[in-house]
Amino acid sequence: MLTIERHEQIVKLVQEKEVVTIHDLVEYTNASESTIRRDLTELEKQKKLKRIHGGASVLKKRREEPTMAEKTVKNNHEKKKIAELAASFVEDGDCLFLDAGTTTYELIPFIKTKKIVVVTNGLDSISALLEAGVETYVIGGTVKQGTRAFVGRHAIQSLQTFRFDKAFLGINGVHLEDGFTTPDPQEAYVKETALSLSREAFMLVDHSKFGETTFATVAPIHAATIVTSSQVEQQVIQAYETQTAVKVVTL
């Protein structure tokens, strides 16, 4: 296979899957691992993809943000297992902040037997929490159409009237230097405020978010415990463990 043909195949697979490992690319192209590494370096220079630990991801705009509907169909099994692990840190009597998002939404079935109080900014989480019999408070504000999250001045004012034992948050980007980031500054402010009002904070992060940086900063890595899965390479996990606690569920 010619180099240009292999490059086209690599770019095509990255665009289809959004995140691929070097192992995926070796199998897909029948090229050696060293060849794939050189290809990824060259394609990154051409701005056709982004190199990440152990593979590559699609190159996204800083403010590009998938909708809830788009996120719901991605990495479902991984998100549920991450949520199940995160739920193990919830104790009876806890007052929780539950962020809007698909992974945080998956937490709800695993906490419904706990005697807890939950405050949320997630429109989709409200009915699920009520159906689970969880005492639920909703902050005010404007609802974003894409992510269905409450944001804005009224959301912040409402949020500041609460204090939390634990906050469970979703995030778009996790980067050793850039910290936790999200595309929308308004959502970033809600997340940042919830963090500041919580004794403990947990970021629920699937493997596709590592190495990514989006537009608005939420907090440095040390501000929250990362809850993720074994789909993240061990060397990546070890790098983040130099800055914060990382909890890993085996898939």
48 and 166 inside one domain = no
Residue 201 bridge partners (DSSP) = 167
Q: Which two tokens stand for residue 150?
A: 């409450």
Do 25 and 52 meet the contact criterion of CB atoms below 8 Å apart?
no
State pTM to two decimals. Answer: 0.78
Q: Is the pLDDT of residue 60 over 80?
A: no
**CATH number of the domain that 241 lies in?**
3.40.50.1360
Angle between helices 3-17 and 22-29 (to 10 degrees): 130
Q: Which residue has the tokens 């898939």?
A: 251
Q: Which residue has the tokens 């005010």?
A: 140
Query: pLDDT exceeding 90 applies to what percent of the chain?
Result: 80
151 and 132 inside one domain = yes
Q: At 168, give phi and psi (nearest 5°).
A: -115, 120
The total of structural domains in the chain comes to 2
Q: How far is CA 160 from CA 37, 85, 118, 130, in A?
A: 48, 28, 14, 23
Residues 153-209: tens digit of each pLDDT? 999 999 999 999 999 999 999 999 999 999 999 999 999 999 999 999 999 999 989
SS3 call for 225? strand
Residues 214-246: tens digit of each pLDDT? 999 999 999 999 999 999 999 999 999 999 999
Do 119 and 162 meet the contact criterion of CB atoms below 8 Å apart?
yes
Q: Does residue 178 form part of some domain?
A: yes
Q: Which two tokens stand for residue 222?
A: 């040390």
45 and 78 inside one domain = no
SS3 call for 129? helix
